Structure 1
Amino acid sequence: MNAIDPDFEALLVYLKESRGFDFTGYKRSSLMRRVNRRMSQVEAADYPEYLDFLQVHPDEFTALFNTILINVTGFFRDADAWDYLRADVLGALVSAKSSDAPIRVWSAGCASGEEAYTLAMVLAETLGLEAFRERVKIYATDVDEEQLAEARQASYGEREMQAVPPELAAKYFEPVGNRFVFRKDLRRSVIFGRNDLVQDAPISRIDLLTCRNALMYFNAETQAKILSRFHFALSDGGVLFLGKAEMLLSHGNLFTPIDLKRRVFRRVPRVMPIAGAVFAEPIPAGTGGVVGLDELRNEAFAASSLAQLGLTSDGLVALTNRRLEKLFGVSSRDIGRPFRDLDLSYRPVELRRYIEQAQLERRTLRVADVEYGRNGDVTHLEVQVSPLTGKDGSLLGVNLIFHDVTAARRLQDDLEHANQQLEAAYEELQSTNEELETTNEELETTNEELQSTVEELETTNEELQSTNEELETMNEELQSTNDELQSINDQLRVSTAQLDEANSFLETVLTSLRAGVAVVDRDLRIRMWNRRAEDLWGVRSGEVVGQHFLNLDIGLPFEQLRPMLRGSLGEDGSSGEVSVDAVNRRGRAVVVRVACAPLRGQEASRGTEGAIIVMEADDV
């Protein structure tokens, strides 16, 4: 088991409080792996640093949620399980309902919608198109709004459509460009909406609930909570269809397997105890021979083994019995007192709102799982609140019955434990049978530890599948970019060859000149220095390029050249020529004719970019 990291838990609390995504019920190993992957992409060293990054960069939430919510799905995923559902489950489910009764389906964790539309195709094939449109509602939910928006478009590429049989693809999809769109007239039966399985209320009266490879991301406690909600959501006889990595080994009180191999389960009805009426029907006429009926009724009520309390319609205590006094201390001395003044009205459970609801709705209510601690012992109670009405339908009062279900609770726990052992034994037998049928089939999971390992491996597989899809997309983009770069490289190669040819030609021209030539930029830094200039002044090109022209240690009187250089570099860029006395590289006095012309670019509006200085010497 992973040790709790307080910094990581603080990050989860921040995600829940700031964006409403509660990941505290997810398995820490897989959740931390995915968060760490995102942290490495933004170069966050630890969880506090990443939390700071989220606070500064709100757009990062989207990237993080896309990494956590892998959203790997597909049409007819695990085809064998879908074939079994269609052939052996849906027919019986539809036959059990009247011909015009609605069929309600819930696809929990629908991601980009492939599973919901698979359900639509399977049901349409079972019922026929007309009956499907009239009777079926498919509620597809997820926590990821971006995935839901994509699912509502019902548009899929060729890669997603490969899993759809060709005859179904032709019947239920319409080609639009290079994509395939699910039929609009059938799409109205598929309703997409956001639902967090951990926090939000479940959809009710569901006949078929699919939640495939979503439970495996949650820890055992959260799985139990979600499965309890699924049990509430399903109608009696409803079917739960899970993914191949999910087993329900310890939830036999909620679901029983229809086919364990294909992970199809049926809802187990919850049996509620039904207590008889507190008061019998009025004694019919002709019973005048029976005497002492009032005393008999009172004694029977007082001696009842169930703690009972009768209230008038205006909330006064009217009847109590001995069991009630022994359990809660309420006796005949309290008759006539307002019920709200008794501790029993709010301890061990707030009863006044149930009494008001029973009076208003005129129906019996039950309050289950009430724990009452007394003298160090805990008693488990179930409270029945029944309105009492007269012959004319008027409200006479309310009767409260407190059922002691402590022994039943113990028996239920023992039965649940026995069911767990039985289910484990059944799983081992199933695994053995499959080994005998074929050595290639996967061994069935036989205990909770191995189940956890399978779920972890399936999670990793889906992460890798998601990563593979991302890499394929990136590879296509990189290939396109590579083609573009290759084209640019070819152009650069041609341009480089042309430039080399031009430079070679320019070098030949400058070498052929008898005069020394220097090209300077606007800051008088030398950009080019030809061979004749090297011969004249005794400095090589590599020594002077980049140097300031007026800082050269050569025999030119630069003070006499400044006005002419300034004129060439001015806005108008004038040309000039001057003869000056100088000393060449051999130390001999020479007369040098220096001509200076502005260097202009192709765009005249940009002004001069430098100057061209031509130096030609005559010996004195």
Structure 2
Amino acid sequence: MSEPDPRFEALLDHVKGSRGFDFTGYKRSSLVRRVEHRMSQIGIDDYADYLDYLEMHHGEFTALFNTILINVTAFFRDPEAWQMLRDEVLPTVLAAKTPTAPLRIWSAGCASGEEAYTLAMVLAELMGITEFRDRVKIYATDVDEEALSQARHGSYSPRDVRGIPKEMLERYFEPVGGRHVFRKDLRRSVIFGRNDLVQDAPISRIDLLLCRNTLMYFNAETQTRILARFHFALADTGVLFLGKAEMLLSHAALFVPIDLRRRIFRKVPRVAVSSGPMFGEAAAVGGSRSAPAALDALRAEALLADPLAQVVVAEDGVVAVVNRQAEFLFGISVRDVGRPFRDLDLSYRPLELRRYIEQAQAERRSIRVPDVAYSRGSEPMVLEVQVIPLVGSGLSVLGVSLAFHDVTDARRLQEELEQANRQLETAYEELQSTNEELETTNEELQSTVEELETTNEELQSTNEELETMNEELRSTNDELHTINDELHDRTGELDQLNEFLDSILTGLRAGVVVLNPELHVQVWNEQAQELWGLRREEALGRHFLNLDIGLPTDRLRPLIRSALADEPGQHELVVKAVNRRGRSIAVRVLGSPLGAREPGVAGVILTMEDVDGVPGSLE
């Protein structure tokens, strides 16, 4: 094996220190390949330079993690394995539990959630919707926060849901904006959270654990540590479901195969111990106990029978001792021995004990926490908690003892005495209160007067603002009247101009047509209407060459083109036509360019007049 590159290891240390991601347990070959792939995407070929880039661009961490954590998953991935799980494994797991017992499932390395929701659909089909909601909890974990965020939404594209049977897709997903969203009422049973399989504590009392095609990315040492955690997490009858790339052939002491081809395994329970379950120590193989062992058993039994609830936590945070009174009071048991104390409800309820444990270990002194409220069922209690550091002969801290004193009766007597004293003081306080109320009423009246004065000033200010606004509106109204008068005058002038132009066009003996550059009719006078029988409203806006009149408009195309081009010379043509009465006539057509303010020609003016004879050259 080649020596690790110190620059690459420095990069991994930086990622771990900055973001808490520990990739040191991943297989180096695949890890190096993915990091270098990301580096090539941004044009960097040196690990040290990439470390500098990460420090300067914090958003690069997300891109790097997405490259390293290959979140390849799908609904019903490896259908044969899911068929086996649905038809044989899950019915056996359910049959081993009472009808109302909860079913706890852990999907480790869940990525964007397809595996967890697949499991939810399978269980809902087996158990029914109501029983699923009441009994099932699916804990889906991953180290990739971005993937977890997507999984929590439960929203997938049509491509993502291709592996789901049509009837299940319709039953468990709702179409929203072109995507498929998993049912909200069932989504509450799927709990997503961040968990690093290498560093974080495992979830406990699991009936089915899915970790598919995740272990293969870790080296052998890390795989062993993770599998030991999985063994602890599973109940004695628990089932482990792995991916097809993971075999577990070297871990027969922890798991035995149910179906090796489909990678489904059952936990091998640990052998029960004989020296007292609360210590978790293995008994000697063969022979009888020694005298010290008998004394240890006696001490253990004495501690178990102590009427004072006690829990002992080892220096590494693991529960070492739980006596019977603690089991009765808090619902914990010797089965919790060996678990991390932080996983117990007792670690934070009825109070946060972990900080007191840390303080007692650091300062090596007992800490007393009085008046802790606690409810056992419907019975309220008051506890006094003592946190006592356990120091060995070498002055090293071995752990911490937590003692819980029930001081409910003492507190009740104290409260009764305090209540009697309060009743004696009440009469005096009521007299004093009456005097204070009168003084308060006077102050309130004075305050009301001040508020009224303030309100009056505010109303005056508002009135002044309204008057100012009224003046501004009046001025604006006058300006609008002036503008309206000007518009009216200009409208009159335009009307006069239009009447003048109409009178000119009407007085002409010839028909006049004005075309724009696109040859659409803009003006059509009465003589044109009389000549061709087409009314003005029928002609305006239409293309002149498309008019169905007795005039051969195609013959006029060269004349119109010359006028538009403003070519020199006279633009005149005599053509044969048929007037509105159906009589053949000869028409002289004159074309003149229509000038404009801008350079160029604005259109064409055509003048059409009936003439008496037709030259012989015209056809």
Q: TM-score, length-normalised on structure 2?
A: 0.47
Q: TM-score, length-normalised on structure 1?
A: 0.47
Rg: which structure is higher?
2
